[in-house]
Structure 1
Amino acid sequence: MPKITFIQPDGSEQVVEAEPGVTLMESAKMNDVPGIEAECGGACACATCHVYVDDAWREKTGKPSQMEEDMLDFAFDVREQSRLSCQIKLTPELDGLVVRVPAKQF
């Protein structure tokens, strides 16, 4: 099972074990990660599951689709590392993934 590290704006870390095949957002919600609101439930229809993917993992998580980029327009403090966690499917290859939770989602 992939282990994912969520880093909060204050620097605190939460490591969770995820089931392969679920999304990063689903894993965050199942493990009560603060700051991941996911108001649309993973339909890529909001930007409340916004995260910053650590630079070392950006290639492995891939680039956002056009639909995801359009939704990121609604996120706060969008950066080059920004992704919607509902659009990152977890695989064994993402074991060790590190993401940062933004200071606010909207």
Structure 2
Amino acid sequence: MVFLESLLAFAVISFAVIYFYQGSLQFLMMSEQQQRELQQYRVLYEEISKARNTQQKSGAYSLTRGGKYQINYQLETLFYVESTEENQHIRIEHFP
């Protein structure tokens, strides 16, 4: 009887540890994805600020900063900014 109770307690504890581990792993993966997205927005902000200061109206180029980004922008009538990194694509549009 004691053996069965011990085995059941071990099974419950094992299940709880595995469930906690999976939740932690998913949280860490989601956090990493959000950090990459935030970094991509930061690169967009910095590059557009630099383009506005130098009064460039449009452009497309590659930028390597921690990862590889493809930056495209147009600052004329149809304002848009987009950035691509691996499989993630971000585009910001503004219609006056």
Shorter-chain TM-score: which interval?
under 0.3
TM norm structure 1: 0.25
Structure richer in helix, relative to its length: 2
Q: Which has the higher strand share?
A: 2
Larger Rg, first or second structure (1 or 2) = 2
Q: Compare relative contact order (CA 8 Å, sep 6+) and give the higher one, 1 or 2.
A: 1
Q: Could you tell me the TM-score, scaled by structure 2's length?
A: 0.26
